[in-house]
Amino acid sequence: MASNWLRCLSRAHAAAAGGSTRSLAGVCCRRHVCSSPSSRQSCMSAWVVDQYGSNGVLRFTEEATAPTVRSPTELTIQVHAASLNPLDLAMRGGYGAKMLKLRRDPMSVMDGDSEFPVILGRDVSGVVVDCGAEVTHFAPGDEVWAAVPPWKQGSLAEFVTLTEYEVSLKPELVSHTEAASIPYVASTALSALVSGGGLCRESSSNKRVLITGGSGGVGTFSIQLLKAWGAHVTVTCSQNAEGLVRGLGADEVVDYTSGDVAEQLEMMEKFDVILDNIGGETEQWAMGLLKPWSGSKYITLVTPLLSNTDSLGLLDGTVNAGITLCTKAVQNIISSGVFYRWGLYAPDGPFLDEVRKLVDSGKILPVVEAQFPFSQVPQAFQKLELGHARGKTVVRVAENDTRQAEELVQDVCAESERGAQGTAQQN
Ligand SMILES: NC(=O)c1ccc[n+]([C@@H]2O[C@H](COP(=O)([O-])OP(=O)(O)OC[C@H]3O[C@@H](n4cnc5c(N)ncnc54)[C@H](OP(=O)(O)O)[C@@H]3O)[C@@H](O)[C@H]2O)c1
C-alpha cells in the first residue's frame, strides 16, 4: 500500500517537473478593462450560492460580477484551478455566516444587506491579470497561488481579487491543478504549528509531534512540512490510509479504527506538540499525551468560534467562545503545564513563499485525490461530503489554462487599444 501511494505521488511530481508551466510574463498588459470605474460591470463565469443549504443551492452563472482592483495594493488573478476544503461544505450550509458577513462589510450587518450571491472556494492557482498602482511584488502574467480568506469572494470563478500580501508566486515545478491543492491547508497548518505550536524550521528537529486525522488535507501537508523541518511525526488515521501517510514521511502510525486509539498512544513516549484535526472527544484524552511542565502545546483546528456566533449571535457567541478558550487554557496550564490553543487559518503570502521553496525542492508533494472540471463543481462537493479524504479535491477552472490566459490578455489588450483609440478620436 505504501509503495502504491508513493509511486502515485512521485509519478505526479515527476510529470509536473517535466511539464512546463509557461509564464505569460512576456505578454505584459494591464487589465484596463476592469480597472476603469466605467467598466466595473464586466461579467464572469462562477458557481454562486444565493441561499444556504445542501448541494442544490450551487448555481452556475456566466453573469457573476467580475471582481476588480479597488485599492492600490490589490491584484486580480485569472483562476486556473481551485480546491475544496471542509469549510466550503460548511459555508454552503451557512456556517460562519454572521461573523463572515461582519468581516466582509460591517455596514451590511447594520443595514441588513444580503451577502448573496456568495462564491465559495478557498484556494487559487492562476495568473495575475491586473495590479493596483502600489503592487510591487507581482505583475500581470505572473503565475501565483493563494488562499482566499473566507470573508472574500472565492475561487470557484474565473477571477478573484486579493491583496498583494495574500498572494505568492506559484511553485514552478507543479501544475496549477497540483498547486491549488496546497495554499489553504498550508496557511492553516503554518498558522497552527508556528503561531500556536511555536515550531519552525530551526526548532523542530528534536520535537515529537502528534497529528490526529493525518490523512486529510491539513494532515497530509503537515506531515510533510514537519518532516522537512526534522520533527518526529506520529499520525492517527484509518488503516487504509497508513500507506499514504507513511509515504509522506510519518514515523509512526496509529490506526484509530482498530481499538482504543488513546490506549495505543499512551504506550508511546509523550509529545511536545499535538495538532488536532478531529476535535470532539479527542481533546479529552489528547492532553494527557503531552509532556507535562515542559512548554508542550495542544492546538485544535476544530473550534466553536463561528458556530457559536451563528447560534448565539455575534456578541454573545464571541464572548462565549472567548470564555471557553480561556477556561480550557487556564485549566490545562494549572493542572499539567500544557498550553491549550485554537489553530485558525490566517492569510499569509510570505508563509506561502516558504512553502513554494519546499515544493520546488521536492520536500512537499501535492496530494491530489480527485480532480473535477469546472462544469462539475456540485459533483466535487458530493465527493467531499462523502468524507474519508485522502489529500485534496481540486477543480480545474480553466481547462486549457495557458491558452485561455493568453487569449484573455490579448483580448484585454485589444479592448484597451480600442478604448485608447476612442479617447484619441474624441480628443
Ligand atoms: N480552524 C481553522 O481555521 C481550520 C482550517 C482548516 C481546517 N479546519 C478543520 O480541520 C479539520 C481537518 O481539515 P482537513 O481539511 O484536513 O479535513 P479532511 O480533508 O476532511 O480530513 C479529515 C481526515 O480525518 C480522517 N479522520 C476522520 N475521523 C478520524 C479520527 N477519528 N481519527 C483520525 N482520523 C480521522 C478522515 O479519514 P477517515 O474518515 O477515512 O479516517 C480524513 O482523512 C476539519 O475539521 C476542518 O474543518 C479548521
Q: Is the CB of 277 under 6 A from ligand 1?
A: yes
The three cell numbers locating residue 94: 451557512
Same domain, 189 and 177: no
Mean pLDDT calculated for residue range 84-100: 96
H, E, C per residue of 56-69: HHEEEEEEEECCCC
Helices 97-104 and 314-336 pack at an angle, to 10 degrees, of 110
Q: Is the CB of 345 under 6 A from ligand 1?
A: yes
Q: How far is the CA of 216 from the centre of ligand 1 (A)?
A: 6
Round to whole Å and give the CA distance between 138 and 207.
37
Q: How far is the CA of 244 from the centre of ligand 1 (A)?
A: 15
Coil/strand/helix, residue 411? helix
| Overall domain count for the chain | 2
Q: Is the CB of 147 under 6 A from ligand 1?
A: no
pLDDT for residue 169: 98
Q: Which residue lies with its CA nearest to atom 4 of ligand 1? A: 301
155 phi-psi bin (left φ>0, alpha ψ -120 to 50, beta other): alpha
Same domain, 148 and 240: no
Number of H helices, E strands in the chain: 16, 16
Same domain, 37 and 162: yes
Mean pLDDT calculated for residue range 2-12: 37
Domain annotation covers residue 201: yes
Q: Residue 320 belongs to what H/E stretch?
A: helix 314-336
Q: Is the CB of 218 under 6 A from ligand 1?
A: yes
Domain annotation covers residue 15: no
Domain annotation covers residue 373: yes
Q: How far is the CA of 201 from the centre of ligand 1 (A)?
A: 24
Coil/strand/helix, residue 40? coil
Q: Is the CB of 301 under 6 A from ligand 1?
A: yes
Domain that holds residue 121: 21-182+368-404
Average pLDDT value for the chain: 87
Same domain, 223 and 334: yes
Same domain, 227 and 303: yes
Q: Is the CB of 198 under 6 A from ligand 1?
A: no
pLDDT for residue 186: 98
Residues 137-160 have pLDDT tens digits of 999 999 999 999 999 999 999 999
Query: Which atom of ligand 1 lies at the shortest distance from residue 343's CA?
Result: 1
Same domain, 216 and 324: yes
Name the band, by pLDDT with cuts 50, 70 and 90, for residue 360: very high
Q: Is the CB of 387 under 6 A from ligand 1?
A: yes
Domain annotation covers residue 359: no
* CA dist 412 → 62, 77, 246, 353 (Å): 18, 14, 48, 29
Mean pLDDT calculated for residue range 296-317: 95
DSSP codes of every residue in 123-151:
EEEEEEEEE-TT--S--TT-EEEEEPPTT
Looking up residue 217, the CATH number of its domain turns out to be 3.40.50.720
Same domain, 203 and 238: yes
Q: 107-135 in b/e burial notation, b at 16+ Cβ within 10 A?
A: eebeeeeebebbbbbbbbbbbbbbbbeeb
Looking up residue 379, the CATH number of its domain turns out to be 3.90.180.10
Mean pLDDT calculated for residue range 82-89: 98
Beta strands in 224-381 (DSSP E): 232-237, 252-255, 273-276, 297-300, 339-342, 368-373
When mean pLDDT is compared across 37-51, 56-70, 82-96, 231-245, the lowest value belongs to 37-51
pLDDT for residue 41: 53
Q: Is the CB of 388 under 6 A from ligand 1?
A: yes
pLDDT for residue 24: 27
Q: Is the CB of 391 under 6 A from ligand 1?
A: no
Q: How far is the CA of 278 from the centre of ligand 1 (A)?
A: 6
Residues 122-142 have pLDDT tens digits of 999 999 999 999 999 999 999
Helices 305-312 and 314-336 pack at an angle, to 10 degrees, of 140
Partnered with residue 77 across adjacent β-strands are 128, 160
Same domain, 210 and 333: yes
The pTM assigned to this predicted structure is: 0.88
pLDDT for residue 108: 77
Non-local CB neighbours of 304 within 8 Å, separated by 6+ positions: 320, 321, 324
Determine the Cα angle at 83 with ends 125 and 193, to 5°. Answer: 90
Query: Which atom of ligand 1 lies at the shortest distance from residue 240's CA?
Result: 40
pLDDT at 228 over 50: yes
Query: Which atom of ligand 1 lies at the shortest distance from residue 282's CA?
Result: 31
Same domain, 215 and 246: yes
Q: Which residue lies with its CA nearest to atom 41 of ligand 1? A: 238
Query: Which atom of ligand 1 lies at the shortest distance from residue 261's CA?
Result: 32
Domain annotation covers residue 352: no
Q: Is the CB of 183 under 6 A from ligand 1?
A: no
Q: Is the CB of 302 under 6 A from ligand 1?
A: yes
Domain annotation covers residue 71: yes
Q: Which residue lies with its CA nearest to atom 48 of ligand 1? A: 301
Q: How far is the CA of 297 from the centre of ligand 1 (A)?
A: 19
Same domain, 175 and 198: no
Contact by Cβ (8 Å): 56, 383: no
Query: Which atom of ligand 1 lies at the shortest distance from residue 236's CA?
Result: 33
When mean pLDDT is compared across 14-18, 208-212, 306-310, 374-378, the lowest value belongs to 14-18
Same domain, 130 and 263: no
Taking the chain, what is the end-to-end CA distance rounded to the nearest angstrom?
71
pLDDT at 3 over 80: no
Mean pLDDT calculated for residue range 316-334: 96
Same domain, 171 and 206: no
Residues 163-176 have pLDDT tens digits of 999 999 999 999 99
Say which amino acid occupies 67.
P
